[in-house]
Structure formats: C-alpha cells, structure tokens
A = this chain, B = another copy of it.
C-alpha cells in the first residue's frame, strides 16, 4: 500500500503545475481523453480551488460519468449546484443502479422532477429499483440482462446474440428463465463458446447456483462474490422472478466502502470522507467527536478530583497516573480493532463470542502481568519507593483487564442495539481512563492515607 501510482501521480503533478501556472489550455488538453474514473480521481486529489477550475473544463457529455465515479461527499457537492433538468440531462445514459445512487442523494423534490422528465418505461423501471434500500442486493443491481429460454439450441442462441449491437459489460452468463420470467439457471458464455452448436440450453445450463434475493444485505452479497469468484449474479424477487443482475465492479465498491467504514468510524470520521474538503466544513464535521471526548475527559478528570488529598501528599502519583491510563487505552484499542474487524469479516457470531471475550481477558491478564512487572520495577527505582511500584502494577493489571472486557463486549452490545460497533472507540478510551485513574489513585489512597 501507499506506494503511490507513478503514472497517475506523474500526471497529477503535471496537471497541477499547469493549473498553478494558469496554462488552462494545456490542462483542458490533458483532461480530454482521460477516462471518467481518472478525472474523478483528479478531482478527489485536488484542493477546492483547483476543483472548480477542473470541473468547468469537463465536457458536458462526460459530466454524468465523472459524477458517477466520485465519492459521496464530493458528488453531492457538485450535484447541489445543478437543477433537475441538468441532472436529468447529464445522467441520461447511466446504468439504473448508478442513476439510483445519484437520485437517492438529491432532495426529494429534485428526484421527483428528474423522474418526471423521463419516459414512462424508464421511470417505472427506476422506481422499482428505488424501492430497494441502497445497501441491499436490490439497490446494487442493474436491469440490463440478457435472458434465454431452456429449449433453445446454442446455434439459435448465437444467432440471437448476433442481433445485439453489443452485450452489456461484465456479462459472463446468459440468464435462463421460464415463461413467467422466473430464474431457472445460468448459461456461461464460456460454455456456449466451447460447446457443439447443436447442444441445448437445458442440457448445459448450471442450476446449482442459487440466485440472490433482492433484500440480501450488500455485505453478504460481497462475501458471496468473494467466496465464489463471481463476475455477475442474478437478482430475484420473493417469487423467484428475475429483477436484474449485480456485477463485480459494484461489489468492489461495497468492499472498499465497508473496509473504509471501519477505519474512519473508529476515529469518529464520516465514511467516504473527502480528503480535500475545505477548512470550515472539515472543522465542523470533526467538532462533534471532539466535543463528546471533552465530556468523557471531564468524567475522567472528576475521578482524579476525588483524590486531590492523596495527590497533594504523594505527587509522584500525578506523574505516574497517565502511564496506567495510556496502557489501558492502547490495549483497549487493540481488542476493539480485532472485534470490529472480525465482525465486519463475518467471523464473529453468537457461538464464538464467549470464546473471544475469554481469549481477550486472558491476553489482557498476560500482558497486564508482563508490563506491570516492568512498570513496578521502573517506578520503584524512579521514586525509590517499592510501595508505589506495587500499587501501579496492581492498577495496570486491573486496567488491562477492564480494557479487554470493554473492548470485547461493547462492540457486541452495540451491534445487538443496531448501533455501529466501530463507534465504541470513544467509550473504550473513557472506561480505560476512568478505571486506570480509579484503581491507581484508589489503591494509593487506601495505602498512603
């Protein structure tokens, strides 16, 4: 990772230089002919000032494709400057699933206007796709499928395909349906190509791959694609009728977003965030998480406040107390990361939760004992007082056990309450702070006062 892309990086540097020096004709020339995804990447890699210059240079006919490739935040930013007619015009040629993603980001009024501007058949099809939430199989699917019937011979299928000007991208299977449009099986194009033209669809179709129900969550769809190495898969309704198909390019986006989500949520950041968002926007998005942390920090401070007398007597306690809290925080974050990641990968379920919690407690105890011993010796020598060494050792073991328990159980609890487990980060740090200060200063008070 993070090795950077030499070719696209070099292109970025050149474009940025041209932008900086104001030679806009060069920029326009470089921009033309780039694939939409590259233009989107350029926009995402540019500070706001250059973004608007770049965006104005995008040919209007390419705007829809570029918008489609942008992350959510930046996409919304450009869309909010457009009226319904403009949105309708630039998104005309997009696939259903992509268009629906865009429409779902717009205010209801604009979405309505865009839909109203379409012809009846397009609108009906889109409205059907829009009934499925964004994060389900139905929200991921497009409706451009090629279907065939079982009695056909391959010769007929081949002639039928030749009547198409082109086959939809990422078509690796033709979908076999009955006369009620219900899914029966798949005919891989590869089978069609290597088989005798007199074979029939019925003889060679695959029927042991179950189709995807439209209400399956998107992370489950992604796991099925990953495990079975699919390029595309059919989507059906509850009656088994074919609704559309999902292709691997959209699944890759789901995988990328899910992984991104764990990383950003643990730092209290929005997922799919814009790296180059402007100052005020960024500051306001981050302020809330800092504010929550401030409340919890005051909670920790009020614990210390209980022990003012003890600290006045033994100032060394004030020196050492952050060590206990810090070690608890690191251990808690490690446990939490393992849990959040394991849950996102689908490794963690009811049947293995208690094993995991016990494992984390055992790991916390072992590392607690190990580093408590080190800290005890270091603190005793530093302050020439073996009592303080014993006190900090005991506090550290308690703290690491509390870190393990909170880090392991809290995300499970949040998941059961249908709250994002990755948000547990702030609470885990608070618990480790509070337990760290309470155990260390409490033991010291019991001993010294």
Interface residues of A, Cβ cutoff 8 Å to B: 1-9, 12-13, 16-17, 35, 37-38, 41, 44-47, 69, 158, 161-162, 164-167, 169-172, 189-190, 192-196, 217, 219-220, 223, 225-229, 231, 248-249, 251-252, 255-256, 258-264, 266-269, 273, 275-276, 278-280, 282-283, 286-287, 289-291, 293-294, 296-298, 300-302, 304-305, 308, 311-312, 315-316, 318-323, 325-327, 330-331, 333-334, 336-338, 340-352, 355-356, 359, 362-363, 366-367, 370-371, 374-375, 378, 415, 420-421, 426, 429, 433, 437
A165 touches B189 (CB 8 A): no
B344 adjacent to A415 (CB under 8 Å): no
Q: In the complex, which of the residues A279, A326, A359 has the most CB atoms of chain B within 10 Å of its own CB atom?
A: A326
**Contact across chains for A170 and B229 when beta carbons are under 8 A apart:** yes
Question: Pick the contact of A194 from B16, B167, B356 — CB < 8 Å?
Answer: B167
The answer to whether residues A326 and B433 also contact, given A275-B347, A348-B45 and a CB cut-off of 8 A, is yes
Asked if B252 contacts A349 (CB within 8 A), the reply is: no
- With the chains together, A395 CA to B260 CA distance in Å? 33
Bound CA span A270–B312, Å: 43
The distance in angstroms between the C-alpha atoms of A275 and B261, with both chains bound, is 19
Question: Given contacts A326-B300, A327-B294, A345-B275, are A334 and B267 in contact (CB under 8 A)?
Answer: yes
* A297 with B326: CB separation less than 8 A: yes
Known: A2-B343, A264-B337, A278-B359. 8 other contacts (CB 8 A): A4-B349, A6-B220, A35-B227, A45-B349, A47-B355, A162-B196, A166-B194, A275-B348
A263, chain B: closest CB distance, angstroms:
5
Residues from chain B with Cβ under 8 Å of A252 in the complex: 225-226, 248, 251-252, 255
Which residues from chain B contact A6 at a C-beta distance below 8 Å?
Answer: 220
Cα of A355 to Cα of B276 in the assembled complex, Å: 9
Do residues A367 and B320 form an inter-chain contact, with CB atoms below 8 A? no
| Assembly CA distance A1 to B257 (angstroms) | 9
A217 to B1, CA, bound (A): 8
Query: Could you tell me the distance in whole angstroms from the C-beta of A306 to the nearest C-beta in chain B?
Result: 9
Given A3-B219, A359-B282, A193 and B158 contact (CB-CB distance below 8 Å)? yes
Main SS of the interface on chain A?
helix
A12 and B297 contact, CB distance less than 8 A: no
**Contact B273 A338, beta carbon cutoff 8 Å:** yes
Contacts of A318 in B (CB 8 A): 304, 308, 311, 318, 321
Q: Pick the contact of A167 from B190, B293, B323 — CB < 8 Å? A: B190
- CB-CB under 8 A from A371, the residues of chain B are 287, 290-291, 294
Which chain B residue shows the least CB distance to A320? B301
Residue of A7, A13, A41, A346 ringed by the most chain B CB atoms within 10 A: A346
- What's the least CB distance linking A94 to chain B, in Å? 13
* Among B3, B158, B297, B308, contact of A327 (Cβ-Cβ < 8 Å): B297
CB atoms of A346 and B45 under 8 A apart: yes
Asked if B363 and A9 sit within 8 Å, CB to CB, the answer is no
In Å, the complex CA distance between A3 and B416 comes to 10
Residue of B nearest to A196 (CB): B162
**B259 A263 Cβ-Cβ under 8 A:** yes
Q: Are B346 and A258 in contact (CB under 8 A)?
A: no
B residues in contact with A193, CB < 8 Å: 158, 161-162, 167, 189, 192-193
Q: What residue in chain B is nearest A17 (Cβ atoms)?
A: B351
Q: Are A351 and B16 in contact (CB under 8 A)?
A: yes
In whole angstroms, what is the CA distance A3 to B344 when docked?
8
Candidate in A16, A359, A437 with the most chain B CB atoms within 10 angstroms: A359
- Residues of chain B lying within 8 A (CB to CB) of residue A41: 227, 346-347
Please indicate the chain B residues that have their CB under 8 angstroms from the CB of A351 in the complex.
Answer: 12-13, 16-17
Please report the C-alpha to C-alpha distance between residue A45 and residue B166 in the assembled complex, in whole angstroms. 43
Q: Determine if A346 and B304 form an interchain contact, defined as CB atoms under 8 angstroms apart.
A: no
On whether the beta carbons of B195 and A347 are closer than 8 Å, the reply is no
Write out the residue numbers on chain B whose beta carbons fall within 8 Å of the beta carbon of A297. 322-323, 326-327
Q: How far is the CA of A356 from the CA of B279 in the complex (A)?
A: 10
Q: Are A1 and B44 in contact (CB under 8 A)?
A: no
CB of A203 to closest CB in B, whole Å: 16
Residues of B within 8 A of A172 (CB): 170, 172, 231
C-alpha spacing A2/B217, complex, angstroms: 10
